[in-house]
Chain A
Amino acid sequence: MGKTLFEKIWDSHVVVEKENNPSLIYIDRHLVHEVTSPQAFEGLRINNRTVRRPNLTIATMDHNVPTTDRRLPILDQTSAIQMQTLEKNCKDFGIELFDINSPNQGIVHVIGPQLGITLPGSTIVCGDSHTSTHGAFGALAFGIGTSEVEHVLASQTLWLEKPKSFEIRVDGKRKNPHAVTAKDIILSIIKNIGTSGGTGTIVEYSGEGITDLSMEERMTVCNMSIEAGARAGLVAPDEKTFAYLRNRKYTPKNYESLVGHWRENLKTDTNAKFDKTFTLHIDNIAPQVSWGTNPGMTCDVTESVPFAEDYSNGDQSQKKAMVKALEYMDLKPGTPITEIKIDRVFIGSCTNARIEDLIEASKVIKDQKISKNVRAMVVPGSQMVKKQAEEMGIDKIFTDAKFEWREAGCSMCLGMNPDILSPGERCASTSNRNFEGRQGTGGRTHLVSPVMAAAAALEGHFVDVRQLDLN
């Protein structure tokens, strides 16, 4: 029987295999950031261990860096200590670091591909669940805990039980790809399979709806695989993939010969079998808006907040969770999504803060002003994205519309830096998690695409962007 892409990558990374036991898997790339690494380096020191392959390890600061002027001092002392700690750890253990002043700094999952560190067929880990983003390049990429970060630093390997394989086919063509985006595809998938629908699996996204996507759109889809519970999501590499990684800062010297090898090998055999499958047809899908406190609690922009009975389908725990969610979100069943008023807009995060996201959002707001009731912010995913946008004059479109234009980082995706919602504030956000308090204690998050967020900023409530002229 044939093999799936995931199985091929897995098999080519097994160092030690024992029956009925986890396998020792080799890790090709290890990305490190300030929040989940300090305890790992401390563990190395306590046990007198070194980093086995500093030249496969890259670090940056993203989670709690301020997004205001980089020349200002960092006011939050605990954040400053965490950044200094990363600096010291990288220096002591010989790891390349893109610190807060580096032109390469940015959200770890945005800079990996931009710098050509992410490669097809490789294994990539990071102490961050959205490592799944890199799967867009046909890499096996997944998030790990801090103990595993320490394990990879020390040994460049991990003990893993082989996950199951899950094919998610996306069939059809979107009628208006500027209005119905990759974000809407992945939110639709999660809405359908649920937040634990992918638990224990590696998802391979396939079908015309995926191959049609640009690399950055594929990253948005793979990024949120973890929101469906999957450990990783991947897409078989194609010519778009190879073109994207050509001539980047760290693109390997023998790139073309690697491409030859990848072209031959990195695809699922036609006679391979997946453990699980799901198909989404996208011909008629609508822009999505989340109404609850997990990414599965999502509906079409044309719908209304559902009633508990309809949503839970008789499942008492689901019903209870939904009642709690609506109470937290201060929403009543039956309220049309387009009547929900917002206070804040956040365009940012490793899901949707790449250059294409900013270009698409800027088209919506060009020559207009945001609603006077809204405070809106753009936080580019990396300093490289920021620079590129500024060279194109996109920053100007945003600032003319009264958006704040910030420095790169995770920012209000998780609110570890000063960018947070106040209790009760409601935000249209391009990030990936609408958990209680995610963007600030008591804050209310609605997940949407960049164009949906931009349109909501103008109107002060959600609108169906299919009604706008976006071409």
Chain B
Amino acid sequence: MEKFKKIKTIVTPLDQVNIDTDQIVPKQFLKLIQKTGFGKYLFYDWRYDENENQKKGFVLNNKKYQGSQILITGNNFGCGSSREHAVWALKDYGFSVIIAASFADIFYSNCFKNGILPIILDEKIVKKLTHEPEELEVDLENQTLSSSSKRISFEIDSHKKKILLEGLDDIAQTLQFEDRVTEYEKQSKIPSVL
């Protein structure tokens, strides 16, 4: 995974609560067997009409937000299906940071496996940033968001921060503990299936 670097772009405001992963990537696109190329399917049913023309009024179709790498959105973002395709689509489209007052659990952990930083902020601050979208600099090292007029710090678990900053390969890390796993297996009471 690539190391997470500082980014600075305008934020894209998607002002809605409880956005589920079925909306982020509709099921008709889950049949692919690779991880790449999902960006074009991001929010597909909200972005395009039945003739595949862009729908006016949907924020991703607004020129102002082209090239934005920061999405700001409502509570409980990413609820529903565990599909990691949702995160692949956000990343492939260009988003590296998602800001919300809360995230669904599986979605939140999927983000870190794909170099996306989910930032949890107080609901009031999220609302303000949503209604007055501006250019923000995201600095993970120092855990800050800043614009010309403000500076907001955010919390993040140190382990997760390290994974993003160093772009670590999770599995390689785990396999260093193989002896411990073998030891565990020797005393486990749960029999194999086969």
Contacts and interface: CB of A to CB of B under 8 A. Distances in A.
Interface of A: 15-16, 20-22, 24, 26, 28-29, 35-36, 38-39, 42, 47, 49, 52-58, 63-64, 76, 78-79, 81-82, 85, 96, 117, 119, 121-122, 127-129, 143-148, 150-151, 154-157, 159, 161, 163, 195-196, 199-200, 226, 229, 231, 250, 252-254, 258, 261, 294, 317-318, 320-321, 324, 414-416, 423, 433, 435-438, 441
Indicate the size class of the contact surface on chain B: 35 or more
A117 B62 CA distance: 50
Nearest to A441: B45
Contacts of B27: 414-416, 438
Nearest to A122: B190
A324 B16 contact: yes
Nearest to B194: A55
Q: Which of B27, B76, B109, B159 has the most CB of A within 10 A?
A: B27
A416 B27 CA distance: 6
B22 A438 contact: yes
Contacts of B15: 317, 320
B17 A229 contact: no
A117 B104 CA distance: 28
A15 B22 contact: no
A312 to B, nearest CB: 11
Contacts of B194: 54-55, 96, 250
Q: Which of B28, B174, B188 has the most CB of A within 10 A?
A: B174
Contact of A321 (B16, B22, B157, B177): B16
Contacts of B170: 147, 151, 159
Contacts of B178: 155
A29 B14 CA distance: 38
Q: Which of B26, B34, B194 has the most CB of A within 10 A?
A: B194
A146 B170 CA distance: 13
Contacts of A196: 18, 75-76, 79, 102, 104
Interface string B177-194: 110110011001111111
A437 B159 contact: no
B167 interface: no
Contact of A20 (B79, B102, B158): B158
A151 B26 contact: no
A29 to B, nearest CB: 7
Secondary structure class of chain B's binding surface, majority of residues: loop
Contacts of A320: 15-17
A57 to B, nearest CB: 8
B109 A145 contact: yes
B74 interface: yes
A35 B31 contact: yes
Nearest to A318: B17
A82 B45 CA distance: 23
Nearest to B159: A21
Contacts of B144: none
Given A38-B33, A39-B34, A81-B33, A145 B106 contact: yes
B109 to A, nearest CB: 7
Contacts of A151: 170-171, 174
